[in-house]
Structure 1
Amino acid sequence: MSDRFDRGAEWFDAVYGEGRGRGLVEQQTGRAQDLARFGVEFNFGDLYSRPGLTLAQRELLSLASLVTIGGLEPQLRGHTRGALHVGCTPEEILETVIHVVQYCGFPKALNAIRVVTDELVLQGRDIPPALGPQP
């Protein structure tokens, strides 16, 4: 592996836990290992390692992007876990989903908030109560 991969794996591990960067590559088969390695090198070695944003800010931005794109539930679950791991609160994560409804629309935001809420529960986190009146 390269220095670029090692740098990426270090940042990946900071978000997801020790050994996860190498584990992502190792769990793939054949050419899929190349794609996973590219992801670790580029996404984490080149982008996450840049100055100017905290890991928590990067994870909230990743969540916002995934919600806006839609249809990326496995990645949304993974980045929800990553956001928790780097110190984001359930409230920050859920408010990120709510905030992007103005850009992506209600269907994508409603689908995403279900995925995120389910993952938060799975991770043993309390779900903040609704702020508005109940129907």
Structure 2
Amino acid sequence: MTSGNSANQNPATNDKRYDAGIQVRREVMGDAFVDAALERNAGSDGEALQKHVTETVWGSVWTRDGLARRDRSLLNIGMLVALRATEELRGHVRGALENGLTRTEITEAIIHASGYCGAPAALSAMKVAQEVLVAELGPLED
């Protein structure tokens, strides 16, 4: 049994992925969101997971060529509806706005997901998205 970095992990590569990941994560989710997540987990068992997610999800997946950030945000909304991950959805709705999605596109993504994920998941997601949209954009105007 080994401890620490395994032989197949290169700490320098992980540092590069972390640096790239933290930059993208901050650009998409905002400094306040990222700082809160990191501070909430600092010195706890969750700290290692935050580092891992920053390296792998943000530093390897979000930095890939092939999809624009707005497309990744759109996909995330659908996946988070399917998973009923409403707390994570809250941050990604803000990120979707930052990445150029419109209020209508976010709403339509949730409506579209309802056909595949079910009404309860979509209703729960829309409640969270509505809170974020009103906070960020103000009430819907006719």
Identity %: 33
Task: Give the secondary structure class of the aligned counterpart of 2:41.
Answer: coil
- 8 Å contact 1:10–1:21 — kept in the other structure? no
Q: CA RMSD in A?
A: 2.0
Task: Give the secondary structure class of the aligned counterpart of 1:123.
Answer: helix
CA distance in 2, matches of 1:99, 1:86: 20
Q: What letter corresponds to residue 100 of structure 2 in structure 1?
A: G
User: Max radius of gyration: which structure?
Assistant: 2
Q: 1:85-134 deviations in whole A, cap 9, x for unaligned?
A: 111111110100001111111111111111111110011344365xxxxx
CA distance in 1, matches of 2:135, 2:25: 22
CA distance in 1, matches of 2:76, 2:120: 19
- 8 Å contact 2:62–2:69 — kept in the other structure? yes
Q: 1:133 maps to which residue? A: none
* More deviation, 6-15/16-25: 16-25
Q: What letter corresponds to residue 118 of structure 1 in structure 2?
A: E
CA distance in 1, matches of 2:36, 2:15: 16
Q: Structure 1 residue aligned with 2:106, among 93, 101, 126?
A: 93
- 8 Å contact 1:48–1:55 — kept in the other structure? yes
Q: In structure 2, do the counterparts of structure 1 residues 80 and 28 end up closer, same or farther at CA, with 3 Å as the change threshold?
A: same
**Unmatched runs of 5 consecutive residues or more in structure 2:** 1-13
Q: Structure 1 residue aligned with 2:73, among 47, 50, 59?
A: 59
Task: Give the secondary structure class of the aligned counterpart of 1:87.
Answer: coil
Q: What letter corresponds to residue 19 of structure 2 in structure 1?
A: D
- Could you state the TM-score of these two structures normalised by the residue count of structure 1? 0.84
How far off its partner does 1:27 sit?
3.4
CA distance in 2, matches of 1:45, 1:90: 27
Q: 1:122 maps to which residue? A: 135
Q: 2:25 maps to which residue? A: 12
- Could you state the TM-score of these two structures normalised by the residue count of structure 2? 0.81
- 8 Å contact 1:62–1:79 — kept in the other structure? yes
- 8 Å contact 2:20–2:59 — kept in the other structure? yes
**How many residues are aligned here?**
128
**Unmatched runs of 5 consecutive residues or more in structure 1:** 130-135
